[in-house]
Amino acid sequence: MGKTIAEKMLSDKSGRDVEAGEIVEARVDYVMVNDVTGPAAFDEFESLRVPLLRDKVILIPDHYVPNKDIASARQAKKMRDFALRHDVDNYFEVGSGGVCHQLMIEEGFAAPGRLIVGADSHTCSYGALGAFSTGIGSTEAATVFARGVLWFKVPESMRFTVDGGLGKHVMGKDIILTMIGDIGVEGALYRSMEVDGDTISSLSLSDRITIANMGIEAGAKTCIIPPDRKVDDYLAGRVRGEYAPVFADADADYMDSRQYDAAEIVPVVAKPHLPDNVAPASEVGVTIDQAYLGSCTNGRIEDFRAAAAIMKGRKVRRGVRMIVVPATKRVMEQAIEEGLVKIFMDAGAFVSGPTCGACLGGYMGILAPGEKCISSTNRNFVGRMGDKGSEVYLANPAVVAASAVAGRIVDPSEVTG
């Protein structure tokens, strides 16, 4: 019997032939921590009194930056001091970085065949480039700082195949939300999701990142899309070091296989309070107080283009506030160069610099009791973006923009015709 991508990668990184269910100790290519998860990792590492594997460690402040209060300033300072003390090259200060997962991809750390861990659950994003990437705890991160290896249980694999052409205003967000709506938020618990098909091959890398990013919302250990020429083209002149793509064997064993007809996927919304509470955007119609465009899920230039195409020449509905947050400095620069920031501002939106912001209920768009927000982020749990009495609806950037204009959650076609 052949092997899945996850089995082949962990076989390679552990130096022996393994299959689903086995416990292995595998070599990690990179470990990333942010300003929230880093401080605890630093304390644990310092207690070990061993040298830091500097080339493997990436430090990215992004959750509460620029610092919103004294507590967040202390967290950021602890990361800054650690980076200086250990002479860490891969530290991205405010003004040079952005949201950690997008930055990991832009800076060439993520690549096919690599094993990457991060003290943040959405580390699975890098599976869009064919990496085995997964979230870990701060203590685990500290051990990787010191040893460069970590134990894993080789996950069973599920295969999701999407074929056919997508309809108007349908994006990667709709594909992954449709899958999560199908299997539920625990449907891929500690499993590897392999997502393929000619629809996926036709997607931009941005849409693939959105899909991989939200694999964790189905409980997945990792979510991997087989790499292709688009990945190679993106990494040309960008990737750090060499990489070797890994593909599943033709006779690989999957514990579940599902197929989707792209023509049947429509713009959808995940209603409160779970990502699997999915309904067509055209059927939601909820009046909103806020529209939020950004995050590691949908804060890339392609997302901004999709939203700007709808908002150009239109206005944010009175009584609605729209907040636009680019994922990184590069995204913001490009959005300015392409005139997208002006389109958003002319429409009445507020545009900020890169930060995780309100996605995790940090700041820059916190919701008051009873408020409703349509958001391009990844989670809509109780109190995720503010008060426990607020509500978050997840959708693609086109739905977010159209809803901001309409003042209620709509399918973009209702606004664009």
**Interatomic CA distance for residues 11 and 118, integer angstroms:** 20
Shortest CA distance to 355 belongs to which of 32, 94, 106? 94
Q: For the chain, give the mean pLDDT.
A: 97
pLDDT score, position 25: 97
Locate the DSSP E strands across 139-289.
149-153, 156-163, 191-196, 222-224, 256-261, 268-270, 278-280
H helices of 148-270, in order, are 172-183, 198-202, 205-213, 229-235
pLDDT score, position 417: 84
Query: Which residues in the chain come in under a pLDDT of 50?
Result: none
- Alpha carbon distances (Å) from 93 to 58, 77, 244, 364: 11, 11, 30, 19
Q: Which amino acid is at 387?
A: D
Record the pTM.
Answer: 0.95
| Residues 6+ away with beta carbon under 8 Å from 23 | 151, 152, 153, 154
pLDDT score, position 35: 95
pLDDT score, position 160: 98
DSSP count for the chain of H helices, then E strands: 15, 17
pLDDT score, position 1: 77
pLDDT score, position 302: 98
Side-chain-side CA neighbours of residue 158 (13 Å): 22
Token pair 């130096």 is at which residue? 15
* CATH for the stretch 268-416: 3.30.499.10
pLDDT score, position 18: 96
Judge whether 324 and 189 are in contact, CB under 8 Å.
Answer: no
Residue 192, sorted as left (phi over 0), alpha (psi -120 to 50) or beta, turns out to be beta
Judge whether 326 and 335 are in contact, CB under 8 Å.
Answer: yes
pLDDT score, position 304: 98
Secondary element (H or E) of residue 24? strand 23-27
Classify domain 5-260 at the CATH superfamily level: Aconitase, domain 3 (3.30.499.10)
Token pair 């209620």 is at which residue? 408
Range list for CATH 3.30.499.10 in the chain: 5-260, 268-416
Tokens of 87: 């002479």
Three-state DSSP class for residue 134: strand
